Amino acid sequence: MGGQVILTNEVDNYPAVPHVDGYTLAEAMRTQAEELGGSIVMESALSITTDPETGTFHVTSSDVESTCHGLLILAGGATPRRAGFDGEERFAGHGVSYCATCDGMFYRGKRVYVVGGGNSACEEALFLTRFASEVILVVRKDHVRAQASVARQLDENPKIKIEFETTLVAVGGGESSLSWVSLRDERTGQVHTEKYDEGSFGVFVFVGRMPRLSLVAGMVDLDETGHVVNRRAYGHAGAGSLCRWRRSEQGPETDRHSSLRRSHCGDERGSLSRSTGRGLGQLFQGLHNPW
Ligand SMILES: Cc1cc2nc3c(=O)[nH]c(=O)nc-3n(C[C@H](O)[C@H](O)[C@H](O)COP(=O)(O)OP(=O)(O)OC[C@H]3O[C@@H](n4cnc5c(N)ncnc54)[C@H](O)[C@@H]3O)c2cc1C
Protein backbone atom coordinates (compact mmCIF):
# COMPACT_ATOMS: atom_id res chain seq x y z
CA MET A 1 0.00 0.00 0.00
CA GLY A 2 1.20 3.53 -0.59
CA GLY A 3 1.34 4.20 -4.32
CA GLN A 4 4.22 6.17 -5.82
CA VAL A 5 5.26 7.79 -2.57
CA ILE A 6 6.77 4.56 -1.25
CA LEU A 7 9.42 4.92 -3.95
CA THR A 8 10.99 7.87 -2.19
CA ASN A 9 13.10 7.89 0.95
CA GLU A 10 12.56 11.56 1.58
CA VAL A 11 9.27 13.43 1.91
CA ASP A 12 9.69 16.92 3.31
CA ASN A 13 6.42 18.59 2.43
CA TYR A 14 3.79 16.63 4.36
CA PRO A 15 1.99 18.80 6.94
CA ALA A 16 3.25 18.28 10.51
CA VAL A 17 5.78 15.61 9.44
CA PRO A 18 9.15 17.33 8.91
CA HIS A 19 11.17 14.44 7.40
CA VAL A 20 9.90 10.97 6.64
CA ASP A 21 10.48 8.26 4.08
CA GLY A 22 7.55 7.38 1.85
CA TYR A 23 7.10 3.86 3.16
CA THR A 24 6.91 5.01 6.80
CA LEU A 25 4.45 7.73 5.86
CA ALA A 26 2.21 5.26 4.00
CA GLU A 27 2.34 2.81 6.91
CA ALA A 28 1.38 5.60 9.35
CA MET A 29 -1.59 6.47 7.14
CA ARG A 30 -2.66 2.87 7.05
CA THR A 31 -2.43 2.49 10.85
CA GLN A 32 -4.36 5.70 11.40
CA ALA A 33 -7.10 4.66 8.95
CA GLU A 34 -7.47 1.29 10.66
CA GLU A 35 -7.51 2.83 14.14
CA LEU A 36 -10.32 5.10 13.00
CA GLY A 37 -12.37 2.08 11.90
CA GLY A 38 -11.49 1.96 8.21
CA SER A 39 -11.01 -1.40 6.59
CA ILE A 40 -8.41 -1.95 3.89
CA VAL A 41 -8.85 -4.48 1.11
CA MET A 42 -5.67 -5.22 -0.85
CA GLU A 43 -7.19 -5.99 -4.25
CA SER A 44 -7.15 -4.60 -7.76
CA ALA A 45 -10.53 -3.19 -8.72
CA LEU A 46 -11.50 -4.85 -12.00
CA SER A 47 -14.76 -3.07 -12.71
CA ILE A 48 -16.89 -0.27 -11.36
CA THR A 49 -20.57 0.09 -12.20
CA THR A 50 -23.11 2.55 -10.95
CA ASP A 51 -26.85 2.31 -10.30
CA PRO A 52 -28.41 5.77 -10.65
CA GLU A 53 -31.72 4.54 -9.15
CA THR A 54 -30.21 3.68 -5.80
CA GLY A 55 -27.15 5.94 -6.02
CA THR A 56 -24.86 2.99 -5.36
CA PHE A 57 -21.56 1.89 -6.87
CA HIS A 58 -20.46 -1.71 -7.29
CA VAL A 59 -16.74 -2.34 -7.22
CA THR A 60 -15.56 -5.77 -8.27
CA SER A 61 -12.17 -7.36 -7.83
CA SER A 62 -11.12 -10.97 -8.38
CA ASP A 63 -12.07 -11.93 -4.79
CA VAL A 64 -14.33 -9.22 -3.46
CA GLU A 65 -17.48 -7.46 -4.58
CA SER A 66 -18.48 -4.39 -2.64
CA THR A 67 -21.33 -1.97 -2.85
CA CYS A 68 -20.73 1.61 -1.93
CA HIS A 69 -23.47 4.04 -0.89
CA GLY A 70 -22.66 7.71 -0.92
CA LEU A 71 -19.23 8.71 -2.14
CA LEU A 72 -16.69 6.76 -4.16
CA ILE A 73 -13.24 8.35 -4.17
CA LEU A 74 -11.12 7.45 -7.20
CA ALA A 75 -7.39 7.59 -6.51
CA GLY A 76 -5.79 5.23 -9.03
CA GLY A 77 -2.90 7.57 -9.82
CA ALA A 78 -1.35 8.27 -13.19
CA THR A 79 1.11 6.66 -15.56
CA PRO A 80 3.93 8.47 -17.32
CA ARG A 81 3.07 9.66 -20.81
CA ARG A 82 5.22 8.15 -23.57
CA ALA A 83 7.22 10.51 -25.79
CA GLY A 84 6.53 8.36 -28.86
CA PHE A 85 10.02 7.79 -30.29
CA ASP A 86 11.03 4.57 -32.03
CA GLY A 87 12.43 2.02 -29.59
CA GLU A 88 10.75 3.63 -26.55
CA GLU A 89 8.64 0.60 -25.57
CA ARG A 90 11.36 -1.88 -26.49
CA PHE A 91 13.92 -0.19 -24.21
CA ALA A 92 11.62 0.94 -21.38
CA GLY A 93 13.40 -0.28 -18.25
CA HIS A 94 16.53 -1.05 -20.33
CA GLY A 95 17.94 2.42 -20.84
CA VAL A 96 14.68 4.35 -21.13
CA SER A 97 13.31 5.47 -17.77
CA TYR A 98 10.43 7.55 -16.41
CA CYS A 99 11.69 7.97 -12.82
CA ALA A 100 14.92 9.81 -12.00
CA THR A 101 14.75 8.94 -8.29
CA CYS A 102 14.38 5.25 -9.08
CA ASP A 103 16.99 4.95 -11.84
CA GLY A 104 19.25 8.00 -11.59
CA MET A 105 21.93 6.20 -9.61
CA PHE A 106 22.45 3.70 -12.44
CA TYR A 107 23.86 6.55 -14.52
CA ARG A 108 26.62 7.66 -12.18
CA GLY A 109 29.39 9.12 -14.31
CA LYS A 110 27.39 8.52 -17.50
CA ARG A 111 25.59 10.74 -19.99
CA VAL A 112 21.79 11.04 -19.90
CA TYR A 113 19.28 12.58 -22.27
CA VAL A 114 16.16 14.07 -20.71
CA VAL A 115 13.13 14.44 -22.99
CA GLY A 116 10.73 17.27 -22.12
CA GLY A 117 10.63 21.02 -21.64
CA GLY A 118 8.26 21.55 -18.72
CA ASN A 119 8.99 22.13 -15.06
CA SER A 120 9.13 18.40 -14.25
CA ALA A 121 11.65 17.68 -16.97
CA CYS A 122 13.79 20.61 -15.79
CA GLU A 123 13.64 19.55 -12.13
CA GLU A 124 14.46 15.96 -13.00
CA ALA A 125 17.33 17.09 -15.25
CA LEU A 126 18.78 19.02 -12.32
CA PHE A 127 18.32 16.05 -10.02
CA LEU A 128 20.12 13.79 -12.50
CA THR A 129 23.21 16.02 -12.41
CA ARG A 130 23.86 14.48 -8.97
CA PHE A 131 24.82 11.27 -10.77
CA ALA A 132 25.38 11.86 -14.46
CA SER A 133 28.50 13.36 -16.00
CA GLU A 134 26.38 15.24 -18.55
CA VAL A 135 22.63 15.85 -18.85
CA ILE A 136 21.29 16.78 -22.28
CA LEU A 137 17.80 18.26 -22.11
CA VAL A 138 16.02 17.67 -25.42
CA VAL A 139 13.37 20.35 -25.91
CA ARG A 140 11.01 20.45 -28.91
CA LYS A 141 10.28 24.17 -28.57
CA ASP A 142 12.71 27.09 -28.47
CA HIS A 143 12.26 27.52 -24.72
CA VAL A 144 11.60 25.58 -21.54
CA ARG A 145 8.81 26.52 -19.16
CA ALA A 146 9.99 26.21 -15.58
CA GLN A 147 9.80 27.93 -12.23
CA ALA A 148 12.16 30.88 -12.17
CA SER A 149 14.45 29.28 -9.59
CA VAL A 150 14.59 26.06 -11.61
CA ALA A 151 15.34 27.92 -14.85
CA ARG A 152 18.13 29.82 -13.12
CA GLN A 153 19.72 26.63 -11.84
CA LEU A 154 19.46 25.03 -15.26
CA ASP A 155 21.26 27.97 -16.76
CA GLU A 156 23.99 27.91 -14.14
CA ASN A 157 24.62 24.16 -13.98
CA PRO A 158 27.69 23.27 -16.06
CA LYS A 159 26.57 19.65 -16.44
CA ILE A 160 23.40 20.67 -18.29
CA LYS A 161 23.24 21.20 -22.02
CA ILE A 162 19.93 22.16 -23.63
CA GLU A 163 19.13 21.13 -27.21
CA PHE A 164 16.31 23.50 -28.19
CA GLU A 165 14.01 22.82 -31.14
CA THR A 166 15.13 19.23 -31.17
CA THR A 167 13.12 15.99 -31.02
CA LEU A 168 14.48 12.65 -29.92
CA VAL A 169 13.13 10.40 -32.67
CA ALA A 170 14.67 6.97 -32.04
CA VAL A 171 16.86 4.90 -29.75
CA GLY A 172 18.43 1.53 -30.27
CA GLY A 173 21.06 -0.79 -28.96
CA GLY A 174 21.76 -4.35 -27.93
CA GLU A 175 19.78 -6.91 -26.00
CA SER A 176 19.22 -4.86 -22.86
CA SER A 177 20.86 -1.46 -23.14
CA LEU A 178 21.16 1.49 -25.47
CA SER A 179 23.99 2.31 -27.84
CA TRP A 180 22.58 5.05 -30.06
CA VAL A 181 20.09 7.88 -30.13
CA SER A 182 18.72 9.83 -33.10
CA LEU A 183 17.78 13.49 -32.83
CA ARG A 184 15.93 15.68 -35.32
CA ASP A 185 16.69 19.38 -35.61
CA GLU A 186 13.21 20.92 -35.94
CA ARG A 187 14.55 23.96 -37.77
CA THR A 188 16.19 22.03 -40.60
CA GLY A 189 14.41 18.66 -40.36
CA GLN A 190 17.80 16.94 -40.36
CA VAL A 191 18.24 13.79 -38.28
CA HIS A 192 21.58 12.79 -36.87
CA THR A 193 22.56 9.77 -34.80
CA GLU A 194 24.87 9.79 -31.80
CA LYS A 195 26.60 6.48 -31.05
CA TYR A 196 28.10 5.38 -27.74
CA ASP A 197 29.38 2.26 -26.04
CA GLU A 198 26.46 0.01 -25.18
CA GLY A 199 24.99 0.86 -21.76
CA SER A 200 27.03 4.04 -21.37
CA PHE A 201 24.06 6.41 -21.47
CA GLY A 202 20.35 6.58 -20.71
CA VAL A 203 17.19 8.40 -21.73
CA PHE A 204 14.72 9.83 -19.21
CA VAL A 205 11.27 10.88 -20.39
CA PHE A 206 9.22 13.53 -18.56
CA VAL A 207 6.43 14.65 -20.87
CA GLY A 208 3.47 14.49 -18.50
CA ARG A 209 1.33 11.84 -16.87
CA MET A 210 -1.96 10.20 -17.86
CA PRO A 211 -4.58 9.68 -15.16
CA ARG A 212 -5.57 6.01 -14.79
CA LEU A 213 -9.28 6.20 -15.48
CA SER A 214 -10.13 3.26 -17.76
CA LEU A 215 -12.34 1.67 -15.08
CA VAL A 216 -14.62 4.69 -15.00
CA ALA A 217 -14.53 5.67 -18.68
CA GLY A 218 -17.70 7.56 -19.48
CA MET A 219 -18.73 7.80 -15.82
CA VAL A 220 -16.78 10.89 -14.84
CA ASP A 221 -16.35 14.31 -16.39
CA LEU A 222 -12.85 15.05 -17.62
CA ASP A 223 -11.21 18.35 -18.44
CA GLU A 224 -9.32 18.99 -21.68
CA THR A 225 -6.19 17.37 -20.23
CA GLY A 226 -7.98 14.15 -19.23
CA HIS A 227 -8.13 14.89 -15.49
CA VAL A 228 -11.24 14.42 -13.35
CA VAL A 229 -13.53 17.38 -12.82
CA ASN A 230 -15.29 17.00 -9.48
CA ARG A 231 -18.86 18.21 -9.23
CA ARG A 232 -21.01 18.62 -6.16
CA ALA A 233 -23.92 16.62 -7.58
CA TYR A 234 -21.92 13.44 -8.25
CA GLY A 235 -21.40 10.59 -5.84
CA HIS A 236 -17.77 10.14 -6.77
CA ALA A 237 -14.64 12.23 -6.49
CA GLY A 238 -11.25 12.06 -8.14
CA ALA A 239 -8.20 12.56 -5.92
CA GLY A 240 -4.43 12.82 -6.22
CA SER A 241 -2.95 12.50 -9.70
CA LEU A 242 -6.39 11.98 -11.23
CA CYS A 243 -7.06 15.68 -10.74
CA ARG A 244 -5.22 18.51 -12.35
CA TRP A 245 -2.86 20.45 -10.17
CA ARG A 246 -3.40 24.12 -10.87
CA ARG A 247 -0.36 26.09 -9.92
CA SER A 248 -2.31 29.28 -9.34
CA GLU A 249 -4.16 27.57 -6.48
CA GLN A 250 -0.97 26.66 -4.69
CA GLY A 251 0.03 30.17 -3.68
CA PRO A 252 2.25 32.79 -5.24
CA GLU A 253 5.57 31.00 -4.75
CA THR A 254 4.89 28.28 -7.29
CA ASP A 255 3.21 30.63 -9.73
CA ARG A 256 6.40 32.40 -10.77
CA HIS A 257 7.46 30.83 -14.00
CA SER A 258 10.22 31.64 -16.32
CA SER A 259 10.68 30.83 -19.94
CA LEU A 260 14.33 29.90 -20.42
CA ARG A 261 15.75 30.35 -23.89
CA ARG A 262 19.29 29.81 -25.03
CA SER A 263 20.85 32.48 -22.87
CA HIS A 264 17.96 33.89 -20.86
CA CYS A 265 16.57 32.82 -17.52
CA GLY A 266 14.41 34.24 -14.75
CA ASP A 267 16.15 36.36 -12.17
CA GLU A 268 14.05 35.54 -9.12
CA ARG A 269 15.96 33.96 -6.28
CA GLY A 270 14.97 30.67 -4.75
CA SER A 271 16.29 27.21 -4.08
CA LEU A 272 15.30 23.95 -5.67
CA SER A 273 14.18 21.17 -3.40
CA ARG A 274 13.29 17.94 -5.14
CA SER A 275 10.80 17.09 -2.44
CA THR A 276 8.72 20.21 -2.34
CA GLY A 277 5.66 21.54 -3.96
CA ARG A 278 3.87 18.73 -5.77
CA GLY A 279 2.62 15.23 -5.35
CA LEU A 280 0.88 14.88 -2.05
CA GLY A 281 -0.48 18.40 -2.45
CA GLN A 282 -2.40 17.08 -5.43
CA LEU A 283 -4.51 14.99 -3.13
CA PHE A 284 -5.73 18.09 -1.34
CA GLN A 285 -6.42 19.83 -4.61
CA GLY A 286 -8.71 16.94 -5.49
CA LEU A 287 -10.51 16.88 -2.18
CA HIS A 288 -10.82 20.64 -1.96
CA ASN A 289 -12.79 20.91 -5.15
CA PRO A 290 -15.96 22.98 -4.78
CA TRP A 291 -18.29 20.64 -2.92
C1 LIG B 1 10.30 8.80 -6.54
C2 LIG B 1 9.18 9.73 -6.18
C3 LIG B 1 9.35 10.68 -5.18
C4 LIG B 1 8.32 11.53 -4.82
N5 LIG B 1 8.51 12.42 -3.81
C6 LIG B 1 7.49 13.23 -3.43
C7 LIG B 1 7.63 14.13 -2.34
O8 LIG B 1 8.67 14.19 -1.69
N9 LIG B 1 6.61 14.93 -2.02
C10 LIG B 1 5.42 14.88 -2.71
O11 LIG B 1 4.51 15.63 -2.38
N12 LIG B 1 5.25 14.03 -3.76
C13 LIG B 1 6.24 13.21 -4.12
N14 LIG B 1 6.09 12.35 -5.18
C15 LIG B 1 4.83 12.37 -5.92
C16 LIG B 1 3.75 11.60 -5.14
O17 LIG B 1 4.23 10.31 -4.81
C18 LIG B 1 2.53 11.48 -6.03
O19 LIG B 1 2.11 12.76 -6.43
C20 LIG B 1 1.41 10.83 -5.26
O21 LIG B 1 1.81 9.55 -4.87
C22 LIG B 1 0.16 10.74 -6.12
O23 LIG B 1 -0.77 10.04 -5.34
P24 LIG B 1 -1.99 9.29 -5.97
O25 LIG B 1 -2.70 8.67 -4.84
O26 LIG B 1 -2.73 10.19 -6.86
O27 LIG B 1 -1.40 8.16 -6.95
P28 LIG B 1 -0.40 6.97 -6.70
O29 LIG B 1 0.58 7.27 -5.64
O30 LIG B 1 0.11 6.57 -8.05
O31 LIG B 1 -1.32 5.81 -6.14
C32 LIG B 1 -2.27 5.15 -6.93
C33 LIG B 1 -2.59 3.84 -6.26
O34 LIG B 1 -3.73 3.29 -6.86
C35 LIG B 1 -3.52 1.90 -7.04
N36 LIG B 1 -4.37 1.43 -8.13
C37 LIG B 1 -4.34 1.76 -9.45
N38 LIG B 1 -5.30 1.10 -10.12
C39 LIG B 1 -5.97 0.34 -9.20
C40 LIG B 1 -7.07 -0.58 -9.29
N41 LIG B 1 -7.69 -0.86 -10.43
N42 LIG B 1 -7.48 -1.17 -8.14
C43 LIG B 1 -6.87 -0.91 -6.94
N44 LIG B 1 -5.83 -0.06 -6.80
C45 LIG B 1 -5.38 0.54 -7.93
C46 LIG B 1 -2.04 1.81 -7.38
O47 LIG B 1 -1.57 0.50 -7.17
C48 LIG B 1 -1.47 2.80 -6.40
O49 LIG B 1 -1.23 2.20 -5.16
C50 LIG B 1 7.09 11.46 -5.52
C51 LIG B 1 6.91 10.50 -6.54
C52 LIG B 1 7.94 9.64 -6.86
C53 LIG B 1 7.75 8.59 -7.94
Residues annotated catalytic, as ranges: 99, 102-103
Distance 111 CA to ligand 1 centre (A): 28
Give per-10-residue mean pLDDT for the chain (291 aa). Answer: 79 84 93 94 90 85 83 88 96 94 92 95 95 97 90 94 97 95 97 97 94 86 82 67 54 43 37 30 29 24
Q: Whose CA is nearest to atom 20 of ligand 1?
A: 279
**pLDDT given at position 234:** 59
Phi and psi for 22 in degrees, rounded to 5? -60, -35
Beta bridge partners of 47: 60
Distance 284 CA to ligand 1 centre (A): 13
Distance 44 CA to ligand 1 centre (A): 15
Which atom of ligand 1 lies at the shortest distance from residue 1's CA?
49
Which atom of ligand 1 lies at the shortest distance from residue 239's CA?
26
Which atom of ligand 1 lies at the shortest distance from residue 61's CA?
42
Pocket test for ligand 1, best of 1, 4, 214 (most atoms within 8 A of CB): 4
Instruction: Give the C-alpha separation, 30 to 32, whole Å.
Output: 5
**pLDDT given at position 198:** 96
Which atom of ligand 1 lies at the shortest distance from residue 7's CA?
1
Instruction: Give the C-alpha separation, 6 to 20, whole Å.
Output: 11
**pLDDT given at position 258:** 55
Provide the residue type at 24 as one letter. T
Q: Whose CA is nearest to atom 45 of ligand 1?
A: 76
Using CB distances shorter than 6 Å, the residues near ligand 1 are 3-5, 7-8, 11, 13, 44-45, 75-77, 99, 101, 212, 215, 240-241, 275, 278-282
**pLDDT given at position 249:** 35
Instruction: Give the C-alpha separation, 135 to 127, whole Å.
Output: 10
Distance 166 CA to ligand 1 centre (A): 31
Domains recognised in the chain with CATH numbers: 3-79+210-247+275-287 (3.50.50.60), 81-205 (3.50.50.60)
Q: Whose CA is nearest to atom 19 of ligand 1?
A: 279
Distance 77 CA to ligand 1 centre (A): 6
3-state secondary structure the chain: CCHHHHHCCCECCECCECCECHHHHHHHHHHHHHHCCCCCCCCCCCEEEEECCCCEEEEECCCCEEEEECCEEECCCEEECCCCCECHHHHECCCEECCHHHHHHHHCCCEEEEECCCHHHHHHHHHHCCCCCEEEEECCCCCEEEEHHHHHHHHHCCCEEEECCEEEEEEEECCCCEEEEEEEECCCCCEEEEECCCCCEEEEECCCEEECCHHHCCCCCECCCCCECCCCCCCEEECHHHCCCCHHHHCHHHHCEEEEECCECCCCCCCCCCCCCCCHHHHHHHHCCCC
**pLDDT given at position 229:** 82
